[in-house]
Structure 1
Amino acid sequence: MRPTALLTRFKISAYLRSHRVVQPFVGLLAVMIILYSSRVALGQELPSYGDSAALLVPVFAWATRGLLDTEPDVQRLISVTAAGRPGREVAAGLAASALVSAGLAVLALVLPLAIGFRALPGTAVLLGGLALHVLSVLTGIALGALSSRPILPDAATSALTMLGGYVAVLLLSLAPVTWLTVPIISWMRAAGQDAFLSRSLPGLATVTVFWCALALFAYIRLRRTRP
């Protein structure tokens, strides 16, 4: 296997053995209980997925931050050396974060089908829910990476930055200009509108991917000076 793939598997294994995954898993369950304590009315399945995607951003950020913080600083330097290039270690960390967050997102998509919805929704709803949670995962990874220990060594500052960043994005996304930040509130609003996949999703996805790519670019650049 390639060094990046091996290192990705190593990081996921270390994260699972550390039991840090329990924390975002409990957070996800809390969100699921809040949203689906009563059955969702017929026709409201996609809006409920929109609410889920918006509320799970800090959960995915928490998972990313926890995974990137699992290795002690010395072990991380050893991983950089073993990978051959610093960029491989950074890529492995982001890939591992994406896989863990994707696993949590799958649970968020599947659990409502068993306990939350009155009837199995159609393909358009499932695709819309999948798209919304992909955007949520991207946002969570970007936020979690920028608040991880390689960037912010102090644990308290890191946690406050992660939560404060989420709140700031929420507040900014209340503005009528959707391109100002990741439009989390717009995800929720658009999910309740007709023709979400064809009319609203492309624009929301473009803005979200742009800001997440910018944040991840900043993370990668910062890791060049904070190995």
Structure 2
Amino acid sequence: MSTLRLGDTAPDFEQDSSKGRIKFHEYLGDSWGVLFSHPADFTPVCTTELGYTSKLAQEFAKRNVKVLALSVDEAASHQKWIGDINETQNTTVDFPILADADRKVSTLYDMIHPNASATATVRSVFVIDPAKKVRLTITYPASTGRNFDEILRVIDSLQLTDQYSVATPVNWKDGEDVIILPSIQDPEVIKSKFPKGHTVVKPYLRTTPQPNK
């Protein structure tokens, strides 16, 4: 399958996991989703990633996000690995890890890059909205651990910009000023949409306090 692009419908699938059979779209329901792949079980970088993601459980929950990891090993191997993660990272992994031994999901989501490794999945991340549309894709090399604070930041931005006529600037974090979309030019519309006021830096660059704070 060709690479998934932003705005594409995330392919549905049914696959075994550390928590039993998962039907992906059914699992997500009306939630946002983060699907992220790992090269293999019992690997050091993945162990730290899954541990940290587990510690962010409340952060994902308050954003209405369900997390789903993937590794190409069997579910029984995942269970043993989760024991190691819980022990070494001082946490309790409570989200499913897909057991993608047949590479079905890895192939659907183009997670195996043959020039990097013929068998292991790269560190792919997909953020999927409640309409099952792909809203973010990030691919890291196997040697580099991901920044899950950044993934939360992007979800904050997506959820904010879906609701209001704004974009978020460089390095934006929740609570900071945002940018009014250039498509909004009518002063009365600006006044009604952004009652906290706004600053004109340039005609195309106008900032306003975050609308939902």
Q: Could you tell me the TM-score, scaled by structure 2's length?
A: 0.27
Bigger Rg over Cα: 2
Give the strand-richer structure, 1 or 2. Answer: 2
TM-score (norm 1): 0.25
